[in-house]
């Protein structure tokens, strides 16, 4: 029997290929923890797509509280940062810390995140943050991209998204990312 791995999932698109890859070595359990997503109807769309993905991949899915106040309190001082700057590092850390806490509560000693799969996100920074939080909590962070070709994995994620008809977002998630020049995920 494979070891349990708590998998923070940001959206069904990033989760699609990562779930299959993680299933090769672990027993992944999804954790949807994304209080960054705004507005609420967008949150519901992405959450529902993740429910569909979990069902199709036959994995368990836990859903975190949609705690927008806490997310805003932490990130609003960096509202004007460009995407990929300090606000995003805080946003990654907040979601990964919640994931690590939930893993510890469930007695799971490994966690990962599908955030690393997105071509719009810095997987090296996410790995550093994940490892730091893991060290603080006495857990192990698994990088879902390390040792694999990120572009090939993303191409496969897009193929799976088209085939399964998952919802595709038009911006990263928070209100600050709803800008004409913003990235899409």
Q: Which residues bind ligand SF4 (CB under 6 A)?
A: 36, 75, 83, 87-88, 91, 172-174, 176-177
The residue among 130 and 173 lying less far from ligand SF4, judged by its C-beta, is: 173
Give me the least distance between CB of 42 and ligand SF4, in Å please.
Answer: 11
Using a 10 angstrom Cβ sphere, with 0-12 exposed, 13-18 middle and 19 or more buried, the burial of residue 162 is exposed
Closest of 99, 104, 110 to residue 140, by C-alpha: 110
Strand partners, 111: 6, 141
| CB distance 87 to 78 below 8 Å | yes
For ligand SF4, the closer of residues 56 and 68 by Cβ is 68
Beta bridge partner(s), residue 3? 26
CA-to-CA separations, 74 to 69, 87, 157, in angstroms, rounded: 9, 9, 31
Nearer to ligand SF4, 9 or 177 (CB): 177
Min CB(55)–ligand SF4 separation in Å: 25
Q: How far is the CB of 176 from ligand SF4 (least distance, A)?
A: 5
CB of 54 to ligand SF4, least distance (A): 21
In angstroms, what is the minimal distance from the CB of 72 to ligand SF4? 11
CB nearer ligand SF4, residue 29 or residue 88? 88
């Amino acid at each position: 029997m494979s070891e349990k791995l708590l998998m923070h999932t940001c959206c069904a698109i990033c989760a699609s290929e990562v779930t299959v890859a993680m299933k090769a070595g672990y027993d992944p359990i999804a954790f949807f923890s994304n209080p960054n997503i705004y507005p609420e109807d967008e949150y519901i769309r992405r959450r529902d797509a993740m429910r569909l993905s979990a069902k199709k991949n036959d994995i368990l899915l836990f859903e975190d509280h949609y705690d927008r106040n806490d997310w805003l309190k932490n990130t609003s001082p960096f509202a004007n940062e460009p995407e990929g700057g300090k606000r995003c590092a805080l946003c990654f850390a907040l979601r990964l810390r919640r994931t690590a806490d939930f893993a510890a509560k469930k007695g799971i000693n490994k966690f990962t995140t599908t955030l690393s799969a997105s071509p719009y996100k810095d997987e090296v920074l996410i790995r550093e943050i994940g490892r730091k939080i893991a060290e603080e909590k006495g857990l192990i962070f698994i990088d879902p991209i390390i040792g694999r070709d990120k572009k090939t994995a993303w191409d496969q994620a897009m193929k799976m998204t088209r085939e399964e008809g998952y919802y595709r977002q038009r911006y990263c998630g928070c209100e600050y990312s709803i800008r004409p020049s913003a990235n899409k995920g």
